[in-house]
A and B are shown apart, each in its own frame.
Chain A
Amino acid sequence: MSATSLYVDRASPIHRLDPRSTLALVTALFVAGYTFDDPRYAAVPLAVAFLALVAVGGWRNFRRLSPIVAALFLVGLVVWPAFTQPGGRILLDLGPITLSEREVLFALGRSERIAVFVVGGLLFVTTTSNEELVRGMRQLGVPYAFCFAVGTALRLFPTFLEAATTVKQAQEARGLDLTEGGVIARLRRSVPLLVPVFMTAFRNVNTQSMALEARGFDTRSDRSFYGARPLAARDWVVVVVAAIVVVAVIGLRLAGFGTL
């Protein structure tokens, strides 16, 4: 809801799923994205993940990460050809550097593969609140201490960003000029920014751990989960569909589809 958090509070069908089912769904997307080398095949899970993300209100999140995704494809075009053999038509000829059709397809496939992870991951965090994530992991048998650590790390990030904004304003108000001077001068001037951000974070962590204890947080004893419920019919449908997708994808691959 805030400008810094990734979770988008909507009532979409995916939001309503049990976190375990959402995890199954995203896992199926990951498997499908990972299995195929051919970008024409890998594009399918990527498109599904992307459309789902937009449908659940995650366009804002995608836009935020879109420079990274774009860089992924551009850099991939340079890096990935090194990991395969040339083949097919030569699409680009710059003297010593050539790009063959096979190399481009391979690079695209690999980049799509990573993009599926990024977009699928976004889909998950857009539709799953921290509490659901922790609860889902716990219900899958992950130790609570670990679940809680993951949840906290995800939650602290936005807090950190907010503190950074305030610190910047506070120091600017005291005459800190961040725009002028060379690299060294700028580096030196970053001290008044970084120290308060880290010290605030440190202090927060200290108070936070005290507050946690004071609220009865204890990884050694039992706790309940508010909002926990058994998997509903729709959750099971999603789990079954996800399983079918995984089996089908692996079957297709073993039958020779989607290779280069």
Chain B
Amino acid sequence: MTDRDEGVATRLRDVVFSYDREASLPDPNATDSDASASTGRDAVLRGVDLDVPMGSFTVIMGASGGGKSTLLRTLNGLIPDFVTGSFAGEVEVLGRDATATRVSELATDVGMVLQDYESQLFGTSVTAEVAFGPENLAVPPAEIDDRIDDALALAGLSDLDRRREPAALSGGQKQRLVFAGVAAMRPDLLVLDEPTSDLDPSGTRRLLSAVGRLAGGRLDRLDAVDRPETVAPNTAAPDDGVCTADDEVAWTGPETVVMVTHKIEEALLADHAILLEDGRVSRAGPAREVFTDTAALRASRVAIPPLVAAFDEAGVPTADLPLTPAEAVDVAAAHGLSWTPPARLDDDRSATEASATSVPAGTGETLGEPCFELENVVFAYETDRGPKRAVDEVSLTIRTGEVVALVGHNGSGKTTLAKHLNGLHAPDAGQVRYDGREVTDYSMSAIGRDVGYVFQNPDHQLFADTVREEVEFGPQNFGISGEALDQRVSQALETVELTDLADADPFALSRGQRQRVALAGILATDPAVIVFDEPTTGLDATQRDQFMRLVAELNRTTGLTVVAITHSMETVARYAPRTVVLEDGQVAYDGSTRRLFADRDRLDAHALQPPHVVEASNRLAAARDLPDALPALSVAELAAGLGGGDV
């Protein structure tokens, strides 16, 4: 790590940072055992040494609250130039001393997309938004035109009406627009902090292919990873403004991309990986080496790539573990592994029950009374161009004890539909019944007691001085007090692993931690139904898994009904036996998740990207000519089908 070669885009040495201005910083060279005893326990970065190879696509992963975002901020001088706190160490970016350079000066070379895209939008139109960065760099207006075209194409927003106001776009569109705004500055080093957190699967794919294309033509590799046989030319919804893959883009940079992400399957697209643990780099190297090092991944609370986990369980040696579905087929053949699908087309239900020890009970037909009944629900928003139907004639029945995933493109009406379930929206036409009565007949607090709703952004509800008070708020509103309250609150805090922080100020926590506080606040009200809007954004792999396991546990033991809006296909596969796909406010698919994932054409039609486990088992089945095989939905099922592990 000490050799100084030309091929390094970014070099950090002994970087220590605390947001406390008067902090006594820990000694970056202290060993782990000293570190716990040393001063500066609140330091976020505790001695970071890292090199980002020039021309690489480097991914940084680690636990939520582990200092990833803070680390990125040193790469364009935000730390120490702009953020107050205590800093020590060396940061060299593209040959410049970043600690001694102003952020706006570094901005010519370093483009940075921060995590919270809402507050990175400055323009009142799409055009103005993308032009803002180049204007700041004093790019001549005539050239800005080209840059806008290029940047929007890269972000997959070519078809977007450029006069639209950024604030009126869907979350995923906003996130891509921020990316376009930074890309238009044509940086040599592109730094991305969870750039796909709110993107639908096709949006994620497009953004990453843009990134891959930029970082030295890795687009080919991306396609090889995803789907070598069936590349659908343009499977995305037209209303989301997605471009076709062959948009001409003149710009060839940036040479180097650094990305923070919690999504393991997207991290596998990188060629270099860095793991952070307790404010230090715990593992760095070529992506293949790092992502097959299960011990290091576990220690950093990073998800083990699903195929690595499954083939490891099936007894494949570390050196041969596959990262992608395509590799999985070859590895299975090379190691003589068989493939027994967990289910066949004609016995879907028994298969679901076979693995009932780890997944929720099943789809509607085996379950209890109707919980929600939606009949021809219509909801329209007023716009300048007249009313637009966000929910268009939706009819659904959700039964008590079901776990239903609600998926679809950014802007397909998922959130709008979900808000009908607890009366936040009343339908313009049609009916929404809960427990046989119309939701609009319930008072807000009566329906709120039964139907917990976890919002996308935790900051929209945190207000109390301590985490405990925050979690107490809901149950108190519903009239719970004394010992019962204490017990619920403690249990909820334990569930989300925040017992230690019960007396902390919620505002001082990291995004992932704040998300967990919000979740605890709903869990403590002990609802009969929970509606989640993107429950796992901002959670790291361990927390997400823990959280979803808990939800599954509650579902099995107490019959909790769960409706989850999510873009995470892994979550859908693993935890939701039933999936509803929304497209333009209408139900495009409603049924078994396993069958949905077995149907390539349908997945393409809805622009859904199946998770690696599913993709791998579909390929294994195809290679063995098993047309009626249904795919594995979890690592355990895949491992079992390969003849290893036990379910």
Of B107, B133, B168, which is within 8 A of A1 by CB?
Answer: B168
Given contacts A1-B164, A172-B444, A204-B118, contact A216 B185 (CB under 8 A): yes
Contact B119 A223 (CB under 8 A): no
Cα A171 to Cα B462 with chains together (Å): 9
Contact B422 A173 (CB under 8 A): yes
Closest beta carbon of chain B to A69's beta carbon, Å: 23
Cα A221 to Cα B105 with chains together (Å): 10
Contact A215 B182 (CB under 8 A): yes
- Among A204, A205, A215, the most chain B Cβ lie within 10 Å of the Cβ of A215
Contact B463 A211 (CB under 8 A): no
User: B163 to chain A: which residues have CB within 8 Å?
Assistant: 1, 9
B477 within 8 Å of A (CB atoms): yes
Contact A225 B120 (CB under 8 A): no
Binds B, one of A16-24, A93-101, A194-202: A194-202
- A137-155 Cβ-contact flags toward B at 8 Å (1 or 0): 0000000000000001001
- B124-138 Cβ-contact flags toward A at 8 Å (1 or 0): 110110011111111
- Among A171, A194, A222, the most chain B Cβ lie within 10 Å of the Cβ of A171
Contact A224 B144 (CB under 8 A): yes
Of A2, A192, A226, which is within 8 A of B165 by CB?
Answer: A2
User: A175 to chain B: which residues have CB within 8 Å?
Assistant: 444-445, 448-449, 474, 477-478, 525
Cα A1 to Cα B125 with chains together (Å): 9
Contact A192 B138 (CB under 8 A): no
Of A2, A129, A170, which is within 8 A of B168 by CB?
Answer: A2
Closest beta carbon of chain B to A205's beta carbon, Å: 8
Closest beta carbon of chain A to B361's beta carbon, Å: 26
Contact A4 B167 (CB under 8 A): yes
Closest beta carbon of chain B to A42's beta carbon, Å: 32
Given contacts A1-B168, A159-B167, A208-B120, contact A224 B460 (CB under 8 A): no
Of A177, A191, A222, which is within 8 A of B445 by CB?
Answer: A177
Closest beta carbon of chain B to A90's beta carbon, Å: 48
Given contacts A207-B120, A210-B82, A226-B134, contact A174 B521 (CB under 8 A): yes
Given contacts A2-B165, A223-B136, contact A166 B384 (CB under 8 A): no
Closest beta carbon of chain B to A117's beta carbon, Å: 23
User: B507 to chain A: which residues have CB within 8 Å?
Assistant: 199
User: A208 to chain B: which residues have CB within 8 Å?
Assistant: 119-120, 122
User: A199 to chain B: which residues have CB within 8 Å?
Assistant: 459, 462-463, 507
Residue of A nearest to B452 (CB): A173
Closest beta carbon of chain B to A199's beta carbon, Å: 6
Cα A139 to Cα B76 with chains together (Å): 31
User: A65 to chain B: which residues have CB within 8 Å?
Assistant: none
Contact A129 B125 (CB under 8 A): yes
Contact B136 A218 (CB under 8 A): yes
B457 within 8 Å of A (CB atoms): yes
Residue of B nearest to A155 (CB): B124
B302 within 8 Å of A (CB atoms): no
Cα A49 to Cα B433 with chains together (Å): 50
Contact A8 B140 (CB under 8 A): no
Given contacts A172-B448, A174-B477, contact A1 B132 (CB under 8 A): no
User: A167 to chain B: which residues have CB within 8 Å?
Assistant: 460-461
B108 within 8 Å of A (CB atoms): yes
Cα A56 to Cα B196 with chains together (Å): 39
Contact A1 B165 (CB under 8 A): yes
Cα A224 to Cα B231 with chains together (Å): 41
Contact A176 B123 (CB under 8 A): no
A257 within 8 Å of B (CB atoms): no
B589 within 8 Å of A (CB atoms): no
Closest beta carbon of chain A to B15's beta carbon, Å: 18
B453 within 8 Å of A (CB atoms): yes
Size category, B interface: 35 or more
Contact B460 A166 (CB under 8 A): yes
Contact B459 A203 (CB under 8 A): yes
Cα A174 to Cα B424 with chains together (Å): 11
User: A131 to chain B: which residues have CB within 8 Å?
Assistant: 123-125, 128, 131
- B523-537 Cβ-contact flags toward A at 8 Å (1 or 0): 001000000000000
A73 within 8 Å of B (CB atoms): no
User: B107 to chain A: which residues have CB within 8 Å?
Assistant: 213-216
Given contacts A200-B460, A216-B185, contact A226 B135 (CB under 8 A): yes
Contact A196 B114 (CB under 8 A): no
User: B165 to chain A: which residues have CB within 8 Å?
Assistant: 1-2, 5, 7, 9
Of A8, A159, A191, A222, which is within 8 A of B384 by CB?
Answer: A8
Cα A213 to Cα B461 with chains together (Å): 28
Cα A223 to Cα B163 with chains together (Å): 23
Closest beta carbon of chain B to A171's beta carbon, Å: 6
Contact B78 A213 (CB under 8 A): yes
User: A218 to chain B: which residues have CB within 8 Å?
Assistant: 102, 104-105, 136
Main secondary structure of the interface of A (DSSP, over half): helix
B154 within 8 Å of A (CB atoms): no
Given contacts A131-B123, A169-B419, A228-B141, contact A195 B448 (CB under 8 A): no
User: B119 to chain A: which residues have CB within 8 Å?
Assistant: 203-205, 207-208, 211
Cα A160 to Cα B462 with chains together (Å): 16
Cα A5 to Cα B73 with chains together (Å): 32
Contact B461 A196 (CB under 8 A): yes
Contact B104 A213 (CB under 8 A): yes
User: A209 to chain B: which residues have CB within 8 Å?
Assistant: 82
Cα A223 to Cα B460 with chains together (Å): 36
Cα A1 to Cα B128 with chains together (Å): 14
Of B78, B122, B140, which is within 8 A of A210 by CB?
Answer: B78
Given contacts A158-B167, A224-B135, contact A174 B448 (CB under 8 A): yes
Cα A193 to Cα B473 with chains together (Å): 13
Cα A194 to Cα B464 with chains together (Å): 11
B112 within 8 Å of A (CB atoms): yes
Contact B141 A224 (CB under 8 A): yes
Cα A161 to Cα B490 with chains together (Å): 35
A181 within 8 Å of B (CB atoms): no
Residue of A nearest to B133 (CB): A215
User: A1 to chain B: which residues have CB within 8 Å?
Assistant: 163-165, 168, 383-384
User: B105 to chain A: which residues have CB within 8 Å?
Assistant: 218
User: A255 to chain B: which residues have CB within 8 Å?
Assistant: none
Residue of A nearest to B522 (CB): A174
User: A8 to chain B: which residues have CB within 8 Å?
Assistant: 384
Cα A210 to Cα B185 with chains together (Å): 16
Minimum-distance CB pairs A-B, first 5: A175-B477, A216-B107, A195-B463, A218-B104, A216-B136
Q: B residues engaging A (CB < 8 A)? A: 73, 76, 78, 81-83, 102-105, 107-108, 110-112, 114, 116, 118-120, 122-125, 127-128, 131-141, 144, 163-165, 167-168, 181-182, 185, 382-384, 419, 422, 424, 443-445, 448-449, 452-453, 455, 457, 459-464, 473-474, 477-478, 507, 521-522, 525
Q: List 23 A-B contacts (CB under 8 A).
A: A1-B165, A2-B167, A7-B165, A9-B165, A9-B384, A129-B128, A155-B124, A175-B474, A175-B477, A199-B459, A203-B116, A204-B116, A204-B119, A207-B116, A213-B78, A213-B107, A214-B107, A214-B111, A215-B185, A216-B108, A224-B135, A226-B128, A226-B144
Q: A215-B122, A226-B131 are in contact. List 10 more A-B contacts (CB 8 A).
A: A7-B165, A159-B118, A166-B460, A167-B460, A169-B419, A172-B448, A174-B521, A210-B78, A216-B104, A225-B141
